[in-house]
C-alpha cells in the first residue's frame, strides 16, 4: 500500500489524497461501455442510460421493464413476482447453522432499531390550545437488493426490519438475485412482496408504479452506479434513503494496534469492489510498514484476490500522522462510511470524531461485526456524505406531521401579531383569514 507522511508532504497534500470521487464520477469500464453501446446503439454515459431507462419505464410500464431486463440481464420475464410458496420454502435450502445466524442477526437488528422509535407528543399553550407532533409511518416502501457477484441477505435484513419496526404497512423488494439466502432473510424480516427485477428499471418501476409493481413512497437499499443514478433521477417523485457509492473503511491506529488485525480489516472492504476505498491513518511509521506488508501477505490468500488487489492498488492509502488529533482531523475531512479506532483509548478520541457513518471502537469491534450481527444498520453514507447524511434507521421510514389546535380565546390573543406579520409580507388574504374571526 502507498504510505505517505503528513509531516513531509503537508496537511493539504494529505487531504487531497483523502478526497474520494463522488458516485456520479465513477468511470465505466471498457467492457461495460462496449456492452452498453451494443444495447443502446451509441456510447452513452451512465447518466444518459439511466435517464432513458427511467423515462421509458415511466411511460411504458411493464413493457419497458421486460425489454430492458432482456437486453441488459439476458432474462425473459413474464411475471415479475416471486411466488409466496418459493419464499416460504426458501429456508429448506439454507444450511441450518447459516439460517440460525440469519435469525440471530435479525433479532439483534430488530431490538436495536426498536430503541430508535420516536414518540408523538402534544403540549398545551394558553387556555386549552395545543401544539404537537404526530409520528406517522410511510405507507409503502421499496427495498432494492443487488445481485452481482455476491448474495446479500444482510442487506435484506438491514433494510426491511427498520421499516417494519417503524410500522410501514407494506414493504416490497426488488432483486435480480432471488437465491434461497436472500428469500429466507426477506421472509424472516417480514417482506410483503418480492419482484425478480434489478437495475435502473427496478428503481423506476417502484418510483412510478407499473401494471405489476406498486408505486412506493420511498426507495432504500444499495446498488451499482446505475441503481444509484436511478435513485437520484426519481427523487422527488418518491423519497430515497441516500446516494451511496463504493464501500469505504478508514482506520485510525496507534502503536498498540495489531498489524494483522488492521490489514484484515482493510481487506474486508477492498474485496467488495475494485472501487472500494481502504485507508489507514497511524501515528507510527513502523506500524504503517508492518500493516502494508500484512496487506500484501493476506491478499494472496483471498478468493476475491483480484478484486481486493485492484481496490488496494487504486484506492489503498496509509497516512502517517503527527498525532492522534491530526489523525482525527483527517478522518473528519474524509468522513468515511466505516471508521475503526484501533488505539489504546478509543473512547478518549471519540468526542473528536464528527463525521463517520459508523464508528467501531477497539480491536474486538471490527467492521464486519456491524455489517452482519451487532444490530446497528450497515446502510451507511459514503463518498464523504457522512458530513450530512445519517445511517439508515427507523426514522428513515417515518414522517413528522405538526398538530395545531387553538381555542377562540387564544387565537384572539394572538390575532394582532399574526395580522401584522401577514401584512408585512404583503399577504393580505392571510391577514383577512385571521381578522374575519376577530
Query: Is residue 225 one of the residues assigned to a domain?
Result: yes
Does residue 225 share a domain with residue 266?
no
Does residue 165 share a domain with residue 31?
yes
Q: Which three cell numbers stand for residue 296?
A: 500484501
Question: pLDDT tens digits, residue range 15-44?
Answer: 999 998 777 777 788 888 898 898 998 989
Query: Is residue 53 one of the residues assigned to a domain?
Result: yes
- Stated length of the chain: 438
Q: Are 402 and 133 in contact (CB under 8 A)?
A: yes
Does residue 221 share a domain with residue 82?
yes
Does residue 164 share a domain with residue 90?
yes
DSSP assignments along 249-276, one per residue: EEEEE-TTS-HHHHHHHHHHHHTT-TT-
The residues that bridge with 143 in the sheet, in sequence order, are 173, 220
Q: Which three cell numbers stand for residue 284?
A: 507510527
d(CA 436, CA 304): 73
Does residue 70 share a domain with residue 12?
no
Query: Is residue 387 one of the residues assigned to a domain?
Result: no
The Cα-based distances of 330 to 96, 322, 368 in angstroms read 44, 11, 23
Cα first-last separation, the chain: 75
Q: Regarding beta strands 129-137 and 121-125, do their DSSP bridges make them parallel or antiparallel, or are they unpaired?
A: antiparallel
The pLDDT value given to residue 149 = 57
Question: pLDDT tens digits, residue range 177-224?
Answer: 889 999 999 999 999 999 999 999 999 999 999 999 999 999 999 998
Does residue 77 share a domain with residue 225?
yes
Q: Which three cell numbers stand for residue 84?
A: 409466496
The domain that contains 370 carries what CATH number? 3.40.50.1980
Sign, Cα dihedral of 319, 324, 326, 331: positive
The Cα-based distances of 22 to 19, 317, 376 in angstroms read 9, 18, 25
Q: Total structural domains in the chain? A: 3
d(CA 332, CA 192): 39
Does residue 225 share a domain with residue 97?
yes
d(CA 184, CA 95): 11
Kindly list the strands in the beta sheet with 121-125, ordered across the sheet, starting from the edge strand earlier in the chain.
121-125, 129-137, 398-405
The pLDDT value given to residue 148 = 65
Does residue 337 share a domain with residue 188?
no
Exposure string (b/e) for 159-185, b if CB count within 10 Å is 16 or more?
Answer: bbbbbbbbebebbbbbbbbbebbbbbb
Q: Are 350 and 359 in contact (CB under 8 A)?
A: yes
Residue of 113, 181, 338, 378 marked active site: 338
d(CA 177, CA 184): 13
Exposure string (b/e) for 106-143, b if CB count within 10 Å is 16 or more?
Answer: bebbbebbeebeeeeeeeeeeeebeeeeebebbebbbb
Query: Is residue 385 one of the residues assigned to a domain?
Result: no
Sign, Cα dihedral of 203, 207, 209, 215: positive
Does residue 268 share a domain with residue 218?
no
Does residue 327 share a domain with residue 255?
yes
Q: Are 212 and 296 in contact (CB under 8 A)?
A: no
Question: What is the pTM for the complete model shown?
Answer: 0.93
Q: Domain span at residue 254? A: 3-21+245-374
Query: Is residue 265 one of the residues assigned to a domain?
Result: yes
* Averaged pLDDT, groups of 10, the chain, 438 residues long: 96 94 77 89 92 97 96 91 96 97 98 97 91 98 84 94 98 94 97 97 98 98 93 98 93 98 97 94 98 98 96 97 98 98 98 98 97 96 94 97 96 97 98 97
> Which is nearest to 56 in space by CA: 203, 189, 261, 156?
203
Q: Are 376 and 398 in contact (CB under 8 A)?
A: no
Query: Is residue 279 one of the residues assigned to a domain?
Result: yes
Query: Is residue 426 one of the residues assigned to a domain?
Result: yes
Does residue 369 share a domain with residue 415?
no
Residue of 91, 248, 337, 340 marked active site: 337
Catalytic, 338? Answer yes
Does residue 318 share a domain with residue 197?
no
Long-range contacts of 414-422 (CB under 8 A, 24+ apart): none
Query: Is residue 381 one of the residues assigned to a domain?
Result: no
Amino acid at each position: 500500500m502507498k504510505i505517505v507522511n503528513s509531516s513531509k508532504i503537508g496537511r493539504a497534500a494529505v487531504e487531497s489524497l483523502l478526497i474520494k470521487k463522488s458516485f456520479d464520477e465513477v468511470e465505466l469500464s471498457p467492457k461495460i461501455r462496449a456492452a452498453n453501446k451494443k444495447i443502446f446503439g451509441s456510447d452513452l454515459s451512465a447518466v444518459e442510460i439511466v435517464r432513458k431507462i427511467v423515462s421509458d419505464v415511466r411511460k411504458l410500464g411493464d413493457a419497458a421493464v421486460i425489454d430492458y431486463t432482456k437486453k441488459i440481464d439476458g432474462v425473459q420475464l413474464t411475471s415479475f413476482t416471486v411466488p409466496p410458496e418459493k419464499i416460504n420454502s426458501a429456508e429448506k435450502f439454507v444450511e441450518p447453522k447459516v439460517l440460525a445466524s440469519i435469525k440471530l442477526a435479525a433479532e439483534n437488528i430488530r431490538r436495536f432499531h426498536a430503541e430508535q422509535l420516536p414518540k408523538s407528543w402534544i403540549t398545551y399553550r394558553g387556555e386549552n390550545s395545543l401544539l404537537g407532533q404526530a409520528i406517522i409511518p410511510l405507507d409503502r416502501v421499496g427495498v432494492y437488493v443487488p445481485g452481482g457477484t455476491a448474495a446479500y441477505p444482510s442487506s435484506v435484513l438491514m433494510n426491511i426490519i427498520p421499516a417494519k419496526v417503524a410500522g410501514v404497512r407494506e414493504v416490497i423488494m426488488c432483486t435480480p438475485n432471488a437465491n434461497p439466502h436472500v428469500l429466507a432473510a426477506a421472509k424472516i424480516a417480514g417482506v410483503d412482496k418480492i419482484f425478480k427485477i434489478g437495475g435502473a428499471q427496478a428503481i423506476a418501476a417502484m418510483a412510478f408504479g407499473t401494471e405489476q409493481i406498486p408505486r412506493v413512497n420511498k426507495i432504500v437499499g444499495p446498488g451499482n452506479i446505475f441503481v444509484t443514478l436511478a435513485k437520484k433521477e426519481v427523487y422527488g417523485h418518491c423519497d430515497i434513503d441516500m446516494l451511496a457509492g463504493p464501500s469505504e473503511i478508514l482506520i485510525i491506529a496507534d502503536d498498540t494496534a495489531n498489524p494483522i488485525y488492521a490489514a484484515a480489516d482493510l481487506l474486508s472492504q477492498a474485496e467488495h469492489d475494485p472501487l472500494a476505498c481502504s485507508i489507514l491513518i497511524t501515528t507510527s511509521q513502523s506500524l504503517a510498514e508492518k500493516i502494508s506488508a500484512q496487506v500484501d501477505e493476506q491478499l494472496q490468500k483471498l478468493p476475491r484476490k483480484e478484486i481486493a488487489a485492484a481496490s488496494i492498488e487504486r484506492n489503498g492509502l496509509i497516512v502517517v500522522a503527527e498525532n492522534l488529533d491530526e489523525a482525527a482531523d483527517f478522518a473528519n475531512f474524509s468522513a468515511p462510511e466505516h471508521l475503526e479506532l484501533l488505539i489504546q483509548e478509543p473512547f478518549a478520541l471519540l468526542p473528536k470524531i464528527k463525521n463517520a457513518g459508523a464508528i467501531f471502537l477497539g480491536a474486538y469491534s471490527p467492521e464486519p461485526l456491524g455489517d452482519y450481527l451487532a444490530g446497528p444498520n450497515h446502510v451507511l453514507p459514503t463518498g464523504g456524505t457522512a458530513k450530512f447524511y445519517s445511517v439508515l434507521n427507523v426514522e428513515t421510514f417515518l414522517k413528522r406531521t405538526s398538530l395545531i389546535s387553538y381555542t377562540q380565546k387564544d387565537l384572539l390573543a394572538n390575532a394582532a401579531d399574526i395580522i401584522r406579520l401577514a401584512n408585512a409580507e404583503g399577504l393580505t388574504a392571510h391577514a383577512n383569514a385571521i381578522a374575519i374571526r376577530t
